[in-house]
Amino acid sequence: MGNVDDDSATFEQSYDCANNRNEKVSTPISNGHIPSHAFVQQKVEGQLSEPELVEEEQNEEQLLLNKHLKFSAPAYTEIRTRSGGLKFKGTSEGSYHPAKQLEANGHATKSGSKCEKFKPSQADGVLSAEQEHYQKTSFEDVPLHTACLTYLGFYLLMILGYINQLLFVPKVATEKGREGYVALYDAFESFYSRYVYRRVRDCWNRPICSVPGDELVLKDRVTDDYGWSFRFTGTETRCLNLGSYNYLGFAAATGACADDSEQRARQKGLAYCSPRSELGNTQLHIDLERLTARYCGVEDAIVFGMGFATNALNLPSLLGPNCLVVSDEKNHASIILGLRLSGATTRVFKHNSMRDLERVLRNGVCYGNPKNGGKPWNKIMILVEGIFSMEGSLVRLPEIIALKKKYKAYLYLDEAHSIGSMGPTGRGVVEYFGADPKDVDILMGTFTKSFGSAGGYIAGSKKLIDFLRTNSHAHCYASSISPPIVQQIYTSMSIIMGEDGTDTGRNKVQQLARNTRYFRRRLAQMGVITYGHEDSPVVPMLVYLFSKIGAVIRTLTTRHIAVVGAGFPATPIMEGRIRFCLSAAHTKEQLDYALDVIDDVSENLGLKYSRKPRDPKIIEY
């Protein structure tokens, strides 16, 4: 359904073959550590001369062989044989092969090889902030016919859904003995998930069974009743991972972070089962807070065990009913929930529109609180995110700081996605724009994304943090972060800061910046519409139609690429999109492979909507 793969037989065969091999060993765990080709060769030769090797080594060698064979399997190399508008110089140009790993491609190694003309992830500052924003942000209006077709398709889905609901009893569990009760769940929501979302349900919530590093292993599942239920086939597919927020590649099963966390778990156990203000406070947490404060360049920081709760539970302690919040329209659900809990008056401004922000701020200052007879607001707070996760756009920080100073408002910056992934040394958008961290009153961020862990922090002045320590629900009632998780954050953060004595962290940040720019430019060259800032590692590719989201995800899965799609409830109806998240763990070969497949797929499925002139030159990595 919706797959453009005509010759699925070859794929199935190759797939079976790969899986038979997999049966011999346990699930190969991918962690971004791809051994060099020479090593594999050596191993193979070694095995030929000496048949009796230790079992462990054999297993390892089998695993390496799997990795080696995987990419020469037909499903991976199929792209070479398809024309699809692709022009490869050599036969192996379009394939991603571990042998090519040996070539110097500027990816983060411990030796720290880098290209000369590398531009760090940083604002140029040559043009004015506004001009630079418009120059670097890609945005394109939806073509009119696509918009019409999107609505047509949506109406068709709705109408047929209603017909379906009328004719058949939905295959869902129903409660007995509930006559006369009002429906507990929203009627439209359950209709939508049953008759629209269900049709493409296989593209979301896919179970994985490996660490989500640069590659991941999907557990295959099939549906016999068009998405009502799934059953596992017992096989697995290894895919290139373009869907995780693993920006710096710290989500790995091996390496310093994993070793330290394991050691810490053995030493300190798994949980303290108590909040920070009671028995859950240890030197580990205090160290982490100090490190976070140093990382952000501010006086103090406070850490929480849950990133979502950091927003949702700290905003109510900072804001009250007589406060005005000026919030960006694309802010995350956790912020919106926090604002609703706080009871503050929320005014929304258009996404990244400074003119609209100033209008809202000026109105707020001039007219005061209408519910309070026009008396001035207690405080006005501007709420923005660093990188907007659905749009891939960057906050216009210099202009917002100027406005904030002009109107004496507070600024709350949610750096959930940008911390670690932006700026020359990964300190987030504040460093990216060269702003002073003290100009941002409240710096919030999560450890879930770049640090490959869980939790969130708030950093700012000592006064603010002390206030939160006494008032925050997340601090007083939620149990403290588990020791191995603290250790994972601590180790990854010190690696990014270079405190482990190597420049691995810096190389990772640079690798991410390079990957991002390369990927975005190649996509633009292909003629697909992408949103967002040139340096943001979240790359939404617009496919608009609901059916195309499913078709793209399914087709890419058959080509061993795992991506995330976002459709109507998460985005406006007209703007279905595929969201690629880049990582420092990706190498140029992996990206090239992915890009070639995306090019082929977008050609076949008609995703090349862009009417902008394309760059004819070859994009340099």
Partner 1 sequence: MWNLKHFAANLYRQYELVTCINMFEPWEKKLINGFVLLMFVLLIFSSCVYLPSYMDTLLDVITPTSGTSKVPDMVYVPQRISSI
* Residues in touch with partner 1 (CB under 8 A): 1-2, 4, 6, 149, 152-154, 156-157, 160, 164, 199-200, 226, 545-548, 550-551, 604-606
Cα 154 from Cα 173, distance rounded (Å)? 27
In the complex, what is the shortest distance from the CB of residue 157 to partner 1, in angstroms, rounded to a whole number? 6
CA dihedral 304, 308, 313, 317 (to 10 degrees): 80
- Looking at 25-54, list the stretches that DSSP marks H as alpha helix, in order from N- to C-terminal side: 37-49
Nearer Cβ to partner 1 (39/226): 226
Query: Coil, helix or strand for 312?
Result: helix
Nearer Cβ to partner 1 (149/265): 149
In the complex, what is the shortest distance from the CB of residue 146 to partner 1, in angstroms, rounded to a whole number? 8
Token pair in block for residue 372: 């309070």
Cα 206 from Cα 227, distance rounded (Å)? 13
In the complex, what is the shortest distance from the CB of residue 2 to partner 1, in angstroms, rounded to a whole number? 4
Token pair in block for residue 391: 């749009």
Residues 473-477: contacts with CB under 8 Å, at least 24 apart? 473/313, 473/316, 473/317, 474/304, 474/305, 474/306, 474/309, 474/310, 474/313, 474/314, 475/275, 475/276, 475/277, 475/302, 475/304, 476/275, 476/276, 476/277, 477/275
β-sheet bridge partners, residue 302: 458
Q: Give the angle 601-604-605 at the CA atoms, nearest 5°.
A: 85
Nearer Cβ to partner 1 (301/551): 551
Token pair in block for residue 167: 């004719």
Nearer Cβ to partner 1 (196/582): 196
In the complex, what is the shortest distance from the CB of residue 199 to partner 1, in angstroms, rounded to a whole number? 4
In the complex, what is the shortest distance from the CB of residue 202 to partner 1, in angstroms, rounded to a whole number? 11
Cα 280 from Cα 105, distance rounded (Å)? 46
Cα 480 from Cα 274, distance rounded (Å)? 6
Q: Give the angle 388-389-394 at the CA atoms, nearest 5°.
A: 30
Nearer Cβ to partner 1 (215/603): 603
Nearer Cβ to partner 1 (374/606): 606
Nearer Cβ to partner 1 (121/557): 557
Nearer Cβ to partner 1 (301/549): 549
In the complex, what is the shortest distance from the CB of residue 78 to partner 1, in angstroms, rounded to a whole number? 17
Nearer Cβ to partner 1 (425/547): 547
Q: Please count the helices (runs of H) and the strands (runs of E) in the chain.
A: 20, 15
Give Rg (Cα) of the chain. Answer: 26
